[in-house]
A and B are shown apart, each in its own frame.
Chain A
Amino acid sequence: MAALTFDSLRHDRRTAIAAAVGIGIVLAVFPFIVGTTLGNSWLRILDFALLYIMLALGLNIVVGFAGLLDMGYIAFYAVGAYLYALLASPHFGLHLPVWAIIPLGAVLAGIAGALLGAPTLRLRGDYLAIVTLGFGEIVRIFMNNLNAPINITNGPQGISSIDPIHLGGITLAKPLTVAGITVPSLHAYYYLFLALALLIIFVSLRLEDSRIGRAWVAIREDEIAAKACGINTRNIKLLAFTMGASFGGVAGGLFAGFQGFVSPESFNLMESVMVLCMVVLGGMGHIPGVILGGVMLTILPEFFRHSAGPMQLAVFGKIILDPEALRMLLFGLALVAVMLYRPAGLWPSTIRRREFRNGSTADVLKEGE
């Protein structure tokens, strides 16, 4: 039901407030429900889902709003993660506080985004895809190899013993006791991630409705026309890259603190592809859709992991197909099936859905080539 009313919420104050309070309560008690019924592993998955939501929202700005196909997005996540790892671990002996590192990570990733964006401004479509993919690989390969001649990233060994996230005197790595209630570490991370995810959602929503947001959409729909309307397409595109990247930087920093270990293999091409899948599968350019995509693609493989084996046992009485291979197989099938039956994504925006039904966007695209 919430799905249908989301867009109307913006126009009705009272329902909006009621909905916000309701959702707030659900989100607040959610980890306790999950933790007790399904176990902490699902809570950890939930934490990762929140990180991926941040990533997907960041990429959504680039791909969904501005229509620039970025296949190397994970590089910004890597920048954020490595920054945290370098500034808060025994590697350089630095232990800066988290409130300094995370914003710095956002800024640095943003700069990286602008640097990537600058040379690619003239490229479009598939050419842009391959160049951004190349940038993603370049960042990963440099991180993998910058241990000689000067050891910066510690190369393939990665950086371990990273400080857990701590705010003031409180560290999130140990159970917290607040006002007599003990909050386990995973729950504490959940609340922190949730807070930042909500912040990113808020920023995304505001951006979408802003002048800039409309400029992005204009560029996505027709760059020439946008230019003719007086939009500075170069700056606006760079801004999309910068904003999107900075979200990735934030998520990366949180990842490093949460995981306590970063190594280049966490930032390979498959990760970029997964985040892109989240955006497209959920519904490009539609924030609730993207959030749904992020949650789904984090949870789906885990769901298959938990069910592929037992399901076979239940149906056939023994395990016929290797559950791990089956898990990925089902995941692939799910990707194909969703796209076949909902090509605009699981939860596309109403405008897009309308356009798609008339086939107008698709036809325009077709003829443009």
Chain B
Amino acid sequence: MQDSRISTLTLAVFAALAVVGCSQKEEPKPQAAAPAAPAAAPAAPAAPAPAPEVVVKLGHVAPLTGPQAHLGKDNENAARMAVEELNAKGLEIGGAKVKLELVPEDDQADPKQGTIVAQKLVDAKVNGVVGHLNSGTTIPASKIYSDAGIPQISGSATNPKYTQQGFATTFRVMANDVQQGKVLGEYAARQLAGKNVAIIDDRTAYGQGLADEFEKGATAVGAKIATREFTTDKATDFAAILTKIKSKKVDVIFYGGMDAQGGPMTKQMKSLGIKAKFLTGDGGCTPEYIKLAGDASEGQYCSLPGVPLDQMPGGKAFNDAFSAKYGQIQLYAPYVYDAVMVMVDSMKRANSVEPAKYLPEIGKTDYQGVTAKIQFDEKGDLKGGAISLYQVKDGKWEYRETIGGAPAAPADAPKAEGEQKK
């Protein structure tokens, strides 16, 4: 009995090794970046350097396991890059040399886990928190940070509620769902000439919030919502709802949700012979979407808060540096990068790393980030909130135009105007 158990265990280990060995041979390149061990982590407090060095801990929270793990890791990498860059440059705040240390945590996109890791970060006496990724975890966690007086800047939680709770500690460096949904709705009705529009959302806080705001924006400028359909953030088959949409003969389909559903959805649209234009928000505005949708992605639209990276000062440099280190940007990396920068910038201006001292300074931020010129309103939302629209051309997202927002908007937009396809 005992022997056979050991032998089966050995067998299992072999099987596992076989799988590992096999797959690694098959795929050497793209993997290099994704699960690469966070080499910078061993910044243990055991650093009795001669110079009086202050260690400033920045918490970062995102789901690192579960269906959104790829986005979570992307965020974490961006935060890590910002921290490493700042450290490499050498940082001095309040007369002391400062070393930043990133404390990455996984909240599994689960609100309960979100509060547990938030408490863990508060216990670890972090000086600030960047994150979380999902609105669903950010909102309950923000209460804990607020109680502890720790500033929190999210680069991706777009639910308006996050900043509406009346906490002084909540900020976000991204347009919220209301801002983005409104722009998208108007864009669909005007520029895409959508008279008859179908809306799909994935029944997550993000997707539903965005879709609701889209509906308001589109109907306000005269579009008719032919039907509203729903899917989930785990679904792969959209044939049934798409067939129904087909029967309504719409011109534009808007999807509030992520790339992992948006891509296959676009593909199934094509194979069902639906000719309507497909428009989605920031969740689908990724290279992943194009990969998953294949040819069907050609000519489809998406939006991203902020201004395109390559038009912002330092944006291209960020893109190159990030891609070289961690591979292609998934989605929110630039925003998270900006969030870290804004936080440290505020510390510099306050001349202190104490949360209580530099918190008021965050509100006064006027920072030229890689995604936008960042200023906050009284609630902690991004002021202005420019939204940029993109269209797939030759298998790549191509910039179309920027609507609303920051005074720092680039001047070379007219080029895009004439290129309106179909």
- The smallest beta-carbon distance between B370 and chain A, in angstroms, is 27
A40 CB–B CB distance under 8 Å:
yes
A40 to B115, CA, bound (A): 12
B225 interface residue (CB < 8 Å to A): no
CB-CB contacts of B12-46 with A at 8 A, as 1s and 0s?
00000000000000000000000101110110100
CB distance from B20 to the nearest CB of A (A): 11
B219 lies within 8 A of chain A by Cβ:
no
Q: Give the residues from 78 to 133 in chain B that come closer than 8 angstroms, CB to CB, to chain A.
A: 106, 109-112, 115-117, 119-120, 122-124
**Chain B interface category by residue count:** 35 or more
Interchain CB contact under 8 A, B41 and A319: yes
A144 interfacial contact with B, CB 8 Å: yes
Interface residues as binary, A157-171 with B (CB distance below 8 Å gives 1, 0 otherwise): 110110000000000
Closest to B5 in A: A340
Asked if B159 contacts A157 (CB within 8 A), the reply is yes
For residue B209, which residue of chain A has the nearest CB?
A: A157
Docked CA distance A229–B175 (Å)? 68
Chain B residues with CB below 8 A from A322, complex form: 35, 37, 64
Chain A residues within 8 Å of B110, by CB: 265-266
Contact with A along B117-159 (1 / 0, CB 8 A): 1011011100000000000100110010001000000000001
B64 CB contacts on chain A under 8 angstroms: 322, 324-325
Contacts of A302 in B (CB 8 A): 116
Q: Are A155 and B208 in contact (CB under 8 A)?
A: yes
Indicate whether B226 reaches chain A with its CB closer than 8 angstroms.
no
Interfacial chain A residues near B65, Cβ < 8 Å: 324-325, 327-328
With A40-B123, A319-B38 as known contacts, state yes or no: A265 contacts B109, CB within 8 Å.
yes
Residue of chain B at shortest CB distance from A340: B5
B236 within 8 A of A: no
Decide: A259 and B205 in contact? CB cutoff 8 A: no
- Which among A40, A160, A313, A325 has the highest number of chain B CB atoms within 10 Å? A160
Query: In this assembly, does A349 line the interface, its C-beta being within 8 Å of a C-beta of chain B?
Result: no
Tally of A-B Cβ pairs under 8 angstroms? 99
* Given A48-B116, A313-B42, A324 contacting B136 (CB threshold 8 A): no
Task: Write out the residue numbers on chain B whose beta carbons fall within 8 Å of the beta carbon of A324.
Answer: 64-65, 69, 106
Whether a CB of chain A sits under 8 angstroms from the CB of B161 is yes
| Complex contact B165–A161 (CB within 8 A) | yes
Q: Which residue of B lies closest to A309 (CB)?
A: B41
Restricting to A22-71, which residues have a CB under 8 Å from any CB of B?
39-41, 43-45, 48
**CB within 8 Å of B: which A313-352 residues:** 313, 318-322, 324-325, 327-328, 340
**Across the interface, do A261 and B203 meet the contact criterion of CB distance under 8 Å?**
no
Q: Let me know if B365 is at the binding interface, CB within 8 A.
A: no
Nearest A residue (CB) for B208: A156
Q: Is B204 an interface residue (CB 8 A)?
A: yes
Q: Do residues A320 and B37 form an inter-chain contact, with CB atoms below 8 A? A: yes
On whether A158 and B205 interact (CB within 8 A), knowing A259-B111, A266-B111, the answer reads yes
Q: Which residue, of B69, B120, B147, has the highest number of chain A Cβ atoms within 10 A?
A: B120
Q: Are A144 and B203 in contact (CB under 8 A)?
A: yes
Residues of A within 8 A of B140 (CB): 160, 259-261
Closest to A263 in B: B136
Which of chain B's residues have a CB closer than 8 A to the CB of A41? 116-117, 119-120, 122-123
Nearest chain B CB to A313's CB is how many angstroms away? Answer: 6
Instruction: Evaluate whether A44 and B159 lie within 8 angstroms (CB atoms) in the complex, with A156-B205, A319-B37 already known.
Output: no
Q: Enumerate chain B residues within 8 angstroms of A45, measured Cβ to Cβ.
A: 116
Least CB distance, B37 to chain A, in whole angstroms: 4
Question: CA separation between A155 and B44, bound complex, in Å?
Answer: 43
Q: Does A120 contact B (CB under 8 A)?
A: no
29 A-B pairs whose Cβ atoms sit less than 8 Å apart in the complex: A40-B122, A40-B123, A41-B116, A41-B122, A41-B123, A144-B203, A145-B230, A156-B203, A156-B209, A157-B159, A157-B209, A158-B139, A259-B111, A259-B140, A260-B140, A261-B139, A261-B143, A265-B111, A318-B39, A319-B38, A319-B39, A319-B42, A322-B37, A322-B64, A324-B65, A324-B69, A324-B106, A325-B64, A328-B65
Q: B-side interface residues toward A, CB under 8 Å?
A: 5, 35, 37-39, 41-42, 44, 64-65, 69, 106, 109-112, 115-117, 119-120, 122-124, 136, 139-140, 143, 147, 159, 161, 165, 203-205, 207-209, 230
13 further A-B contacts with Cβ under 8 Å, apart from A160-B139, A260-B140, are A41-B123, A44-B116, A157-B161, A158-B205, A160-B140, A259-B115, A266-B110, A266-B111, A266-B112, A319-B37, A319-B38, A319-B41, A321-B37
